[in-house]
Amino acid sequence: MDIVEFLSQRIKEDEAAAQRLLSDRSVSESGKWYEWRLLRECEAKRRLLGITESARQAALATMISSAARDLPWIPEVIEWTTLSLNALALPYSDHPDFQDAWKLSP
């Protein structure tokens, strides 16, 4: 499983949990506020994941093309996109599918 698939699955799980709690009549108004916020955060994470993965894929495609030899910034783009994806995965570090390679170095 790659990090993008891992993050997509965790976001879906977070959304499903928030939806379940929103439909629970015993959840307080403050609890509902938190769940609505969690849904907005999931949407923000999904958008950021898409933007970051698109940039990473574009950099990788450019890197393997013959024109990439004259573009010394490509490795930097791959590094910052990888670090961004790792940062998005950090809240899920206790999940059994989380990989140690995704941990951020201090």
Q: What are phi and psi of 94, to 5 degrees?
A: -90, 0
pLDDT the model gives residue 106: 54
Q: Both tokens of residue 23?
A: 């439909």
Q: pTM here?
A: 0.86
> Which amino acid makes up residue 80?
W
* Digitized pLDDT (tens) for each residue of the chain, 106 residues in all: 899 999 999 999 999 999 999 999 999 999 999 999 999 999 999 999 999 999 999 888 887 876 656 777 788 888 899 999 999 999 999 999 999 999 976 5
Task: Give exposure, 1-26, as e/b (b: 16+ Cβ within 10 Å).
Answer: eebbebbbebbeebbeebeeeeeeee
In the chain, what is the straight-line distance between the N-terminal and C-terminal CA atoms, in Å?
A: 25
pLDDT the model gives residue 34: 93
